[in-house]
Structure 1
Amino acid sequence: MHATVNWRDGLVFEAKSGSGHAVTMDGNKTEAASPMELVLMAAGGCSSVDVVSILEKARQQVTGVQCEVKGERADTVPAVFTHVHLHFIVTGTDVAEKHVERAVALSADKYCSVAKMLEASVKVTHSYVIENEGENA
């Protein structure tokens, strides 16, 4: 796996993955997400892939998964993350709590490479809520 990062101007960079996908990063957060924001997004994306995959294999009627990721950073330089919390909002019909709890736990404990990597130096926590579709209709 590899990537290339090219400076555009100011503190704006374009990163390109070995698979050919590009993303813009901005140290000032005016044109794009900052690299640290991308770390949070990567953790949420990686864990969300796991949760959706596990729930689909469990034949749960999931229609939506949202992962809200919050990161706390150190007050000193380098301003590394000290705590990252991933909160999953799972929407669907008759989604069993035991399956969501299991999916989130498996992602946290076994599958999410990004969160596991962060876990070496960052406190990573998880939570979830299930919203049954049609309850508010």
Structure 2
Amino acid sequence: MKHEYTTTHRGGMAFEMTLDGHHKLIMDAEDDFGGKDRGPRPKQLLISALTGCTGMDVVSILNKMKVDYTGFEIKVEADMTEEHPKVYSKIHLIYEFTGKDLQASMKQIEKAVHLSQNRYCGVVDMLSKAAELTNEIRLIEG
């Protein structure tokens, strides 16, 4: 399967990406780096792609398992190297679920996260070749 994307310079440090012909997204740098802060930075988008990919997997799997929860967030703690090119050396994902009596569904939640991390999420697979990826699950009663 082939995907084609277009990224167009929009002045300063801003670029507009056209994804699949109709979704548009602006990337820009901070003022200190010649941009006008009109959009996220490329590495921010990389982390967003990671959390979106694994998050969609987990939600899909949990829906099929009929696991009930009221909230779900993925938090990220990422370590970046000091030398150029600055890259993420470690990315820690925190899968945080809110709901009532989630401890009873912990095995299903663990399975959903495991399947995303080890089978379905292509972004996890790509990034794990470049950085150490770790994760944890937190349950919040509510």
Q: Which one of 82, 96, 99 corresponds to residue 92 of structure 1?
A: 99
Letter in 1 for 2:10: R
Distance in 2 between the 1:70 and 1:113 partners?
Answer: 20
Report the identity percentage.
32
Deviation at 1:67, TM superposition (A): 0.6
Q: Which one of 8, 11, 14 corresponds to residue 9 of structure 1?
A: 11
The question of 1:130 aligning with 2:139 is answered yes
SS across alignment from 1:54: helix
Deviation at 1:126, TM superposition (A): 0.9
Letter in 2 for 1:132: E
Deviations 1:55-95 (A, max 9, x none): 11111112221111222111111111111111111122333
RMSD: 1.4
Q: How many residues align?
A: 133
Equivalence for 2:23: 21
Deviations 1:8-64 (A, max 9, x none): 111111111015111111122722110000000110110100111111111111222
TM-score by length of 2: 0.87
Deviation at 1:132, TM superposition (A): 2.8
Equivalence for 2:89: 82
- Structure 2 unaligned blocks of 5 or more: none
Distance in 2 between the 1:39 and 1:93 partners?
Answer: 32
TM-score by length of 1: 0.90
Bigger strand share: 1
Contact 1:56–1:62 (Cα < 8 Å) also in 2 = no
Equivalence for 2:54: 47
Distance in 2 between the 1:19 and 1:50 partners?
Answer: 24
- Structure 1 unaligned blocks of 5 or more: none
SS across alignment from 1:32: coil
Distance in 2 between the 1:62 and 1:19 partners?
Answer: 35
The 5-angstrom pairing of residues 109-120 of structure 1 reads 109-120=118-129
In structure 2, relative to structure 1, the CA distance for the partners of 1:85 and 1:19 (3 Å cut) is farther
